[in-house]
Amino acid sequence: MASHRKWSPTGTRIAGIRTPALATAALTSVALLSQTANAAPSADSKPSIEEVEKKVDDLYHQAEAATEKYNATREKTAQQRKRVDSLLDDVAQRTEKLNTARDELGSFAAAQYRTGASAPDTATLLLADNPQDYFDQTQLMSRLTSRQKVAVDDYITEQAATTKKRAEASQSLQTLTTTQSALRTSKADVQRKLAEARDLLSKLTADEKARLAAIEKKRQEAADRKAAELAQQQAAAEKKAQEAAARQQTTTGTTATTGSSATDSSYTAKADKALAFARAQVGKPYVWGATGPGSYDCSGLTQAAWKTAGVDLPRTTWDQVNVGTTVPLSDIKPGDLVFFYDDISHVGLYVGNGMMIHAPKPGAYVREESIFYGGESIIHSVVRPA
């Protein structure tokens, strides 16, 4: 698996650091607030539609980042719960074995009592905190038969193993409790961000909502233009490659080939399966933490799509970005994963012609949309997962 390398498009930079569109918007808002912090309150202190739009976008972005954190924590919780269940089952089985060994020793004690042998020694063993120390300090072992010695050894072994497994189970339960607490925190964080975004939108008048829709329409139109430009660039590059291959065939009588032809064909076949699945999900609602079949979040959709092609992707965007090979945007192919934002909190499945299928955000539905929906600067990287 190739190491992940971030594709860095030209964008706004501050002190040599590329800042995504939302980060730039946040900095602009901070500057505006700083300029007016000391000014007297005006009669109209309501934020502009542009400011509301940027704030809502930022809140949805934060909610999606919190969703990925929730997904990662939930996955960890499930793994830890399996471990706890396994340890508890093991403890139960070992306890049963320990009880059997204790019963066998008890029968020896009863037999010794009936024959007048040293019953108190064996009885004391059954109550001892540390049987091994008891045997080390007495001569009991010398008075036991071979069968009794085996029973004593089994008892000591099972007691030590059971004590160890109980300690492991206790520690795992504590770890699980901590992780479950983190899961609740992540869930609350998502819900808080979404509630804040909904509250902002609910305060808009009908006219303001119309203006907000107009802003969104202009943004989509710009994104569609960028998608068309990318499609044209890729078509031109493909035509150039075909012309070069044709010239070589005319000159040498052989068809120009590359060593990756078989690999490309295999990837295309898998990508077609993933894309067919994704297209069938269009129109289903975005639900954070969902992995289908009725609803999805962004990484849940890409994971489910590629699974139909026999490729198991991890649950979160942060892990999915490290699977496969990072490729430049200019070399993007249908089926590739497109990741967004510096915190890698969103992902979509590329379908070609600058478009992708993705689960956008809460309140929206799985849809096909330009990969430039939020501007070129928020595209983090492109990954070919198989």
Catalytic annotation, residues? 298, 346, 358
Phi, psi (5° rounding) for residue 259? Answer: -65, -10
Other CB atoms within a 10 A radius of the CB of residue 344 amount to 22
Q: How many CA atoms lie within 13 A of 192 on its CB side?
A: 9
DSSP letter assigned to residue 48: P
**Cβ contacts of 143 within 8 Å, gap of 6 or more:** 117, 118, 121
Q: What is the token pair recorded at 367?
A: 């849809």
Amino acid present at 246: A
| Residue 308 burial by Cβ neighbours in a 10 Å radius (0-12, 13-18, 19+) | middle
| Residues whose CB is less than 8 angstroms from the CB of residue 337 and which lie 6 or more positions away in sequence, other chains included | 302, 320, 321, 324, 347, 348, 349, 350, 382, 383, 384, 385
